[in-house]
Structure 1
Amino acid sequence: MSRSLVKAIQVLDCFLEKPVMTINELAEIAAMPKTTVFRLAGGLEEAGLLIKDRKSSHDVTYRMSLKLLEYGKFVSDQLEYSKVARPHMKKLNEEIDELVHLTIMEGYEAVYVETVNSSKPVRLVGKVGARAPLYAGSAPKLLLSGLDDDEVESYLNHVEFNKFTPNTLDEKEKIKEELEKIRERGYSISYSEHYQATIGMSYPIYDYEGKMIAAMGVSIPYIDHSKTRETFILSKLERTVMDIWKELGYTGVHPS
């Protein structure tokens, strides 16, 4: 991490001790030269993280902006639904003994933030922090389907498609058709689209406002797949996410 960034964070930390400060006060608490603090405060103000209040040329103070509150709310929400989802994921894993994962959208990628692995000898293993494009796999496609049409169009116009397997969707119109199917039925399925010989099924996680904030999915080896097994897992997965919705305060009607 660059030294300037570290120092900027140290300046922000000073506001945990005192909410409104002059440059002199900041320099004293941060134990940095006044010129350095002045430069860092200017950069933080430009980034929208600090607010400068100027009453006169000799009376200038700084305070944290509400943008930091937005960051805090995002982190708090993320921790909340991960904390709520984790025990439900474990319970589902115990019932079906398959890989269960929780995925969020970060930028224009899907990121796996929670996984519970199967105990079977032949099994799939999920890695927290793994990323995937939004057009390949059940959870990524589900997250993509949660965007409005303009956002989807923008994404499809700028993304570079890679053919991970013969089943990977890499044509815009086919992806749009798939997204419509997902929206209609309320869940997503992937047949070896991102990883070969892997079947994925995902349902959305909604917050109290009805906003899709994550996708909960189950992935199984192709050798264990059958339509009966697929129907069984989808039923268990649907029941699990609906329990999570209730805890998060979502009371809307399930699309299916």
Structure 2
Amino acid sequence: MNQSVIKALNLINYFSLDKPEQSLSDIAKLSGMSKPTTYRLLSSLEFCGFLSKIKYSDQDIRYRLGMKLLELGNIVLEQSEVRKVCLPLMKQLAESVDEAVHLVVVDGEHAVYIEKVDSKQPIRLFTSVGRRSPLHLGSGSKLLLAHMDGLERAKHLQKMELIAMTPNSITTIEGLEKELTKIIQDGYSISDGEQTLDTIGLSFPIRNHKGNVIAALTISGMKSRFQERLAFLLEETKKAADLISGDLGYRKEVISLKI
């Protein structure tokens, strides 16, 4: 583990409701570190937006928690709310289709599974909460990438390494951009053996009250079970995703007025 990172992040713990502001001397004393070391770590946290510096005078300079922490806190709260709203409907969907149901969100350069309801099938995919996937592989990952803001998506595409996990994996930017366009047009995403052969995943968007896509509702299972039931599976998953979005405050008619 990187000890410098740990030491820097631990400094955040010295701020509280009772002590929202701290000076360099205060934090150095509390942490037991020298002032030069403390200053270097505080400067790094300030640069990243985790702390902000307030200069009351040349002799009175203090630090307080930065807006980046509020931004990250809101993300955590939103994900917790999404999980709470999603889980009952995910269970209903899993009961209806008898396939694994996942809730997927973007985390940096990856998609991550933050909730799961397993199927009762004797042969099923092994997945777990916390699993991470490249944004170019899998129905949930691709759907989230497709619905990103154009500038954000371009940044991801620019630095993306298109690693192939199976012969069905997308390995070119041109192929990926074509797939993303199709996802927007269709309203859903399908992955046919992109990460594990002989499996299929399909995903629909979950939107918040602003109409932003904040998660993907995904079902996945063996290809042999999906082929003859595809229309039914699409219909059931879309229905569940729409209900979840509605519970989160999304209203189609309101959003359409803004377009």
Verify same fold: TM over 0.5.
yes
Partner of 2:71: 70
Partner of 2:186: 185
Q: RMSD of aligned C-alpha atoms?
A: 2.3
Partner of 1:102: 103
TM-score (norm 2): 0.87
**C-alpha displacement of 1:131:** 2.1
Aligned residues: 253
- Deviation digits for residues 81-120 of structure 1, max 9, x if unmatched? 1221122111111222111111111223222221111111
Partner of 1:239: 239
SS in 2 for 1:25: helix
**C-alpha displacement of 1:32:** 1.8
SS in 2 for 1:225: helix
**C-alpha displacement of 1:202:** 0.5
CA contact (8 A) 1:23 1:34 kept: no
Partner of 1:57: 58
Partner of 1:176: 177
One-letter amino acid of the structure 2 residue matched with residue 106 of structure 1:
D
CA distance 1:195–1:151, change in 2 (3 Å)? same
- Deviation digits for residues 157-192 of structure 1, max 9, x if unmatched? 432323322322223333222222211121111222
Partner of 1:26: 27
**C-alpha displacement of 1:3:** 3.4
Gaps of 5+ in 1: none
**C-alpha displacement of 1:44:** 2.3
TM-score (norm 1): 0.88
**C-alpha displacement of 1:154:** 4.2
Partner of 2:226: 225
CA distance 1:160–1:223, change in 2 (3 Å)? same
Distance 1:135 1:167 in 2: 12
Partner of 1:155: 156
Partner of 1:8: 8
Distance 1:205 1:240 in 2: 9
Gaps of 5+ in 2: none
CA distance 1:177–1:42, change in 2 (3 Å)? closer
SS in 2 for 1:140: helix
One-letter amino acid of the structure 1 residue matched with residue 234 of structure 2:
L
Partner of 2:122: 121
Distance 1:251 1:155 in 2: 29
Distance 2:159 2:45 in 1: 31
Sequence identity of aligned pairs in percent?
38
Partner of 1:134: 135
SS in 2 for 1:113: strand
CA contact (8 A) 1:93 1:116 kept: yes
